[in-house]
Structure 1
């Protein structure tokens, strides 16, 4: 079995597919990840910066 890797998943994406990829990696519902991302962005500006960095750094998973 190959190790899990973190990818952006652009299939059914909302913006860049970052939350979808994190949800698939953690085996969680994407809605929970999106709510956490919005809460982090609203509570501190760091959430927006982290999301943009993740969109740049994370590779795209092709199907």
Structure 2
């Protein structure tokens, strides 16, 4: 997934926001605030978060596949 994974450290819930922040060069809190703000808009944001949580590998598994 092109360097997109859930980091082992810095997680608040599932590590999705921290992983997105690391991938796109943002701070985790910026991504978390954007995610929370997006919940004010209609749409499937919560479902997208759950899907990303399920699909993004954890840093442990990502590291194992990199070697």
With normalisation by structure 2, the TM-score equals: 0.78
Which runs of 5 or more structure 1 residues have no equivalent in the other structure? none
The within-5 A match list for 1:43-62 is 43-62=41-60
Aligned length: 60
Unaligned segments of structure 2, at least 5 residues: none
RMSD, aligned α-carbons = 1.5
Question: Any runs of at least 4 consecutive aligned residues in structure 1 with deviations exceeding 6 A, and if so which?
Answer: none
Contact 1:8 1:17 in 2 (8 A): yes
Instruction: Provide TM-score, normalisation by structure 1.
Output: 0.83
